[in-house]
């Protein structure tokens, strides 16, 4: 059984003016998503600025999300690190706190081999007994998970059940599904490729767009699964200009700006991320308005 089907939001981590975590606002966001058709919460992923949270903060945020969601929808904890042993430690803690699954990015900066990836994921999976989603995003980590590596891990490790594919390489993604006989749970890691990935047998998306348009993102998937492929495709295409603006600067700079433009008050970014340029912010606001989102 899949951890979730449909739209999983890669939720932002709201911050106070002093850059401490704003737990009151995080509580609001979690309720907002539970009440607006989001199918899963992904906490402390890339969009959640996990790389600038201390390990203590990271695990506090994960536990807070699990406790506040209270089983209404699955909570998947991003616990990947550039260190295998840190990944094991955080993953075990998240499982103990009640995470429904783990999202494990490839170890960044080290640029390990495919054999290194296999050993890394096997070690983590052995220690952290929860469903694991592999996260392939070489544009950030410098390491791609080869289709053959995904297939070997899926075949040999019972609790490696899914892959979040953010390579943008549809041929690679198709090969993953070919090598796993279409059985691995596949999630789009790119909002502009939801429908193409669903067409290859995908289960849904781990989405940035869902932060500001949760029902819309859910409905793209729901329409597809209901057999309205044309309707789903139209929604995907209609959202492309907004998605482009959400990635015109490095994620999560634009999406945090978008939420603030909507009056959600999620606060600043942590350095080294900086605020969006005025020119790009104006283009983002214009596209949000055209899309039908209400700004304050």
As annotated, the active-site residues are 135, 164
For 123-240, strand residue ranges (E) read 132-136, 160-165, 185-188, 204-207
Between CA 171 and CA 176 the distance in angstroms is: 9
- Closest by CA to 175, choosing from 199, 142, 151, is 151
Between CA 25 and CA 34 the distance in angstroms is: 14
Alpha helices in the chain (DSSP H): 23-34, 55-69, 84-97, 114-127, 138-141, 147-156, 170-179, 194-199, 214-225, 229-246, 253-261, 278-291
The Cα-based distances of 61 to 15, 78, 90, 144, 273 in angstroms read 12, 11, 12, 28, 20
Between CA 104 and CA 121 the distance in angstroms is: 8
CB 137 within 8 A of CB 105: yes
Terminal-to-terminal C-alpha distance of the chain:
41
């Amino acid at each position: 059984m899949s951890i979730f089907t449909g739209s999983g939001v890669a939720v932002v981590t709201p911050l106070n003016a002093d850059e401490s975590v704003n737990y009151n606002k995080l509580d609001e966001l979690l309720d907002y998503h539970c009440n607006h058709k989001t199918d899963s919460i992904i906490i402390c992923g890339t969009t959640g600025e996990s790389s600038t949270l201390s390990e203590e903060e990271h695990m506090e945020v994960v536990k807070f999300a699990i406790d506040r969601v209270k089983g209404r929808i699955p909570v998947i904890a991003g616990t990947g690190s550039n260190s295998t042993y840190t990944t094991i430690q955080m993953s075990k803690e998240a499982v103990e706190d009640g995470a429904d699954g783990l999202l494990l990015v490839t170890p960044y900066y080290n640029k390990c081999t495919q054999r290194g990836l296999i050993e890394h994921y096997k070690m983590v999976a052995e220690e952290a007994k929860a469903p694991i989603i592999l996260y392939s995003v070489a544009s950030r980590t410098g390491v791609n998970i080869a289709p053959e590596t995904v297939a070997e891990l899926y075949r040999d490790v019972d609790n490696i059940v899914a892959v979040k594919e953010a390579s943008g390489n549809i041929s690679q993604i198709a090969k993953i599904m070919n090598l796993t006989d279409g059985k691995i749970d596949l999630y789009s890691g790119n909002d502009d490729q939801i429908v193409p990935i669903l067409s290859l047998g995908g289960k849904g998306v781990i989405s940035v767009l869902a932060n500001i348009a949760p029902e819309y993102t859910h409905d793209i998937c729901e329409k597809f699964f209901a057999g309205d492929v044309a309707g789903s495709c139209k929604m995907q295409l209609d959202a492309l200009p907004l998605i482009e603006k959400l990635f015109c600067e490095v994620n999560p700079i634009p999406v945090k700006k978008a939420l603030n433009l909507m009056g959600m008050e999620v606060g600043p970014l942590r350095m080294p991320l900086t605020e969006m340029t005025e020119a790009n912010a104006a283009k983002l606001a214009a596209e949000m308005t055209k899309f039908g989102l209400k700004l304050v």
